[in-house]
Amino acid sequence: MTAPTETEEKELQEFYADLDKVALTPLWTITKDLLTATPRPKAKPWLWPARTYRPLAQRAVRLVPVERGGERRVLSLVNPGLAGAPYAAGTLWGAVQCLGPGETAPAHRHTPGAIRFVLEGEGVFTTVNGDACDMYPGDLVLTPSWAWHDHQGGGETGMLWFDGLDVPMVQALDAIFFEPHPLDSQPVDDRNASERTYAGRPGRFAEGALGGGPETPLAPVSSPLLVYRWADVDERLSALAEADPDAASAEIEYTNPETGTAVLPTLSCHALRVFAGRTTAPRRITGNRVYVVHEGAGHSVIDGQRFDWEKGDMFAVPSWSVAEHHADVRADMFAIGDAPVLRALGLYREAPAEQQPVTSVFTPLTGDGA
């Protein structure tokens, strides 16, 4: 092709200007940013240390009451790659919620689904559609889409837990609905009823992750089991370790005991145990994940950047980044992901990756209050 003449160039510029005036844009000028060879998440790999958020959560308990209107005392993880949006990754809400002794977070429901993973404290229960679910450190509690839920604190310590929600996905689909319950606390019909029904059922965990092959069933339902106790997770991880003593790590996915699929239609929950002195094989998957360190200490290398972590720290692993995890002492991690959506839509991919040279070390933000 010969270079355009001056007249041709002028005509072309006029053409682009005319397109813009009537809200049209030519694909050929944007295709490289649109149809990228591989996913290019805006969210960055990032880490929020417990030693930074804990004192701030305690300040929130002193300074800000939990009331109707505000509804929840929640500090949301803000990934700096997302232009100020209150999301831990492009598809995932992650947050720290704190409830002081004797406080109540009022009952409401919303279309985004949520999971809670307890960090510390005692005496709190979350009531989900009338079923009061007791919470202890390491437990997972589900509050599925449109289920009434409120949190009530007894005890003397208050509680800190991790919230994972699918808010960015439901937001992107323009499907957010919210409704306050007429009462501050909904009536409690029963205690730990779902747990009693499903306790001891075999289908509560799957080895590894569910994957994404054509045989993967769609997961459009929320698990009827609302509480997964850490003791059961620990038992499963220990059994896997015993079965394969040379493995660097053991991983399970929490599953719906009725269907064997992910716990929520939009969110998967995972537990990863990395053994002392060992490193997981580097790999990449489509979909975002947010990790919470339940016990232990070590570091992860994400796209060549080293993230040192310890108990209570939270970190985001964006889609298709290469991630590997190393434990100094045995480390147990909880994670949420958007895998059910990717699986259901045929978008789930997983690939091994090369061992990564560490090119930088992440320095967490500490602020002045630390």
Contact residues for ligand GTQ, defined by CB under 6 A: 72, 74, 95, 97, 110, 114, 149, 163, 165
- Which lies closer to ligand GTQ via its Cβ, residue 170 or residue 237? 170
The least distance separating ligand GTQ from the CB of residue 114, rounded to whole angstroms, comes to 6
- Which lies closer to ligand GTQ via its Cβ, residue 97 or residue 255? 97
- Which lies closer to ligand GTQ via its Cβ, residue 58 or residue 259? 58
The least distance separating ligand GTQ from the CB of residue 88, rounded to whole angstroms, comes to 11
Indicate the residue whose CB is closest to ligand GTQ.
Answer: 163
- Which lies closer to ligand GTQ via its Cβ, residue 94 or residue 318? 94
Please state, as a whole number, how many other Cβ atoms lie within 10 Å of the Cβ of residue 141: 22
| Euclidean distance between CA atoms 210 and 56, whole angstroms | 36
Alpha helices by DSSP H, listed for the chain, are: 6-21, 31-34, 50-63, 167-172, 193-198, 230-243, 339-344
Rounded to 5°, angle at Cα 64 from 79 and 147:
70
Pairing mode of beta strands 283-285, 350-352:
antiparallel
**CB within 8 A of 325, min separation 6: which ones?**
249, 272, 274, 279, 280, 298, 299, 300, 331, 333
The least distance separating ligand GTQ from the CB of residue 109, rounded to whole angstroms, comes to 9
| Euclidean distance between CA atoms 260 and 125, whole angstroms | 26
The least distance separating ligand GTQ from the CB of residue 151, rounded to whole angstroms, comes to 6
- Distances from the Cα of 337 to the Cα of 143, 287, 292, angstroms: 16, 7, 12
The least distance separating ligand GTQ from the CB of residue 51, rounded to whole angstroms, comes to 21
What residues form DSSP beta bridges with 274? 249, 331
- Which lies closer to ligand GTQ via its Cβ, residue 12 or residue 64? 64
The least distance separating ligand GTQ from the CB of residue 48, rounded to whole angstroms, comes to 14
| Euclidean distance between CA atoms 28 and 66, whole angstroms | 51
- Which lies closer to ligand GTQ via its Cβ, residue 116 or residue 343? 116
